[in-house]
Chains A and B, each alone.
Chain A
Amino acid sequence: MEHKKTIDAKIERALEGLDGIQRAAAQPWLYSRVMGRLQREEKTVWESIGSFLSKPAVAMAGLTTILVLNLFVLFKQNSLQDATAVAGANQGVQITDSESIIASNSSFDYENLVQP
C-alpha cells in the first residue's frame, strides 16, 4: 500500500516534470547549414527535366502515347493502301507495291503544261 502511494507520488511528480521548461535553442550556425543544403539541392533545368521524365507515371504515359500514335499511323497507312488498291483494280490495273500507288496517285499532264 505504502509502495503504491510512493509510486503514485512519483508519477504525479514526473507529470509535472515539464512545468517551467524553457525552449531549447538551435545552434547559431543553422542558417549557414541550411544555405549549404540548398546549394547542394539546387538542380539545373536539365536535371529537373530528366527527373520529371524519369518518373514512372510520366515515362509510362509517354510510351503509351508513342505506341498509340504508331498504331494510328500504321492503321491509317493500311487503310489508304487498301483504298488505292481497290481503285486500281476498278481501273483494270492490279497495283500492289507502294511506289506504284504513289505514282498512280500523282499525275503529270505533259500536254497541257504551260510554257513560259
Chain B
Amino acid sequence: MQKNQGLDERILVNQLKQGDETAFKTIVANWQDMVYNTALGIVQNAEDAEDIAQEVFVQVYQSINSFKGDSKFSTWLYRITITKSLDHERRKKRKKRFAFVKSLFGEESEVVIHPPDFNHPGVVLDKKEDAAALFAAIAGLPENQRIAFTLHKVEGLSYQEVSDVMKTTVSSVESLMHRARINLKKLLEVYYKEKG
C-alpha cells in the first residue's frame, strides 16, 4: 500500500514537472488538509493558515523542479509549510512591533490581537478547554520545540518522520520533545496559577 502511494507520488510529481495542471489539482486535493493542519497548528489562526496553505501550493507549483525526490514528497511539503508558517509569524510580529512604535508616536494604527484561546476544530469535544490552554502554552515554546511538538501531537507524525522533516536525528527529536514537555508544564503552571 505504502509502496503504491510512493509510486503515485512520483508519477504525480513527474506529471507536474511537465506542467500537467490535472496532476497539480490532484496534489492539492491529496495534501491540502495536511498542509492546512500543520500551518494551523503553528500559527493558531484559521485565516492565516489558509493563506499559508495557498502560499505553499503556489511555491510547489513554481519550484517543483527543485524537488529531486531525495525525500518523500510529503516531507518536502512539511518543510515548505513550516518555513512559510514561521515566516508568516515573523512578518506578523514585525507588523505588531511597528504598529506599537507608531502608536507611541500617536499615529493611528490597528494592532492585531489574537484571542488567547485558540480552538482547533479537530479537538475532541470534552477536551476543548484543556487543548486551548495547551495551544496557548505551545505558542510560548522555542521554535524547534514548537515544531517538533506540533508535528508529533497535531499531525501525528512519528519521531522518525519528525526527524526527517526537521533534518535531524531521532534522539534530537526525543530531546526536543522532552524539553518541550518540561517547558509546557512550567507555562501551564503559570497559566493555571494566574487563572486561580
A interface residues (Cβ-Cβ under 8 A, vs B): 7, 10-11, 13-27, 30-31, 33-34, 37-38, 41
Bound-state Cα–Cα, A24 to B154, Å? 10
Cβ of B189 and Cβ of A24 under 8 Å apart?
A: no
Is B28's CB under 8 angstroms from A20's CB? no
Q: Classify chain B's interface size.
A: 35 or more
Contact A25/B36 with A7-B189, A15-B184 known, Cβ cut-off 8 Å: yes
Q: Could you tell me if B57 and A18 are in contact, using CB atoms closer than 8 angstroms?
A: no
Give chain B nearest CB distance to A35 CB in angstroms.
8
What's the Cα separation between A41 and B37 when bound, in Å? 25
Contact status A34-B185, CB under 8 Å:
no
Instruction: Out of A14, A26, A30, A33, name the residue touching B130 (CB < 8 Å).
Output: A14
Query: B131's contact among A18, A27, A37, by CB below 8 Å, is which?
Result: A18
Known A20-B127, A26-B32; judge A31-B188 contact (CB<8 A). no
Binding site for A on B (CB under 8 A): 25, 28-29, 32-37, 40, 49-50, 53-55, 57-58, 61-62, 120-124, 127, 130-134, 137, 153-156, 181, 184-185, 188-189, 192-193
Chain B residue contacts of A18, Cβ below 8 A: 120, 123, 127, 131, 134, 153-154
- Asked whether A17 and B33 contact (CB < 8 A) given A10-B192, A24-B121, the answer is no
A21-B28 contact, Cβ under 8 Å, with A15-B188, A34-B57, A38-B61: no
B57 proximity list for chain A (CB < 8 A): 30-31, 34
> What's the least CB distance linking B194 to chain A, in Å?
11
CB<8 Å pairs between A and B, sample of 25: A10-B133, A10-B188, A11-B188, A11-B189, A13-B130, A14-B131, A15-B134, A15-B181, A17-B132, A19-B127, A20-B124, A21-B153, A22-B123, A23-B37, A23-B122, A24-B36, A24-B37, A24-B120, A26-B36, A30-B36, A30-B53, A31-B25, A33-B50, A38-B61, A41-B62
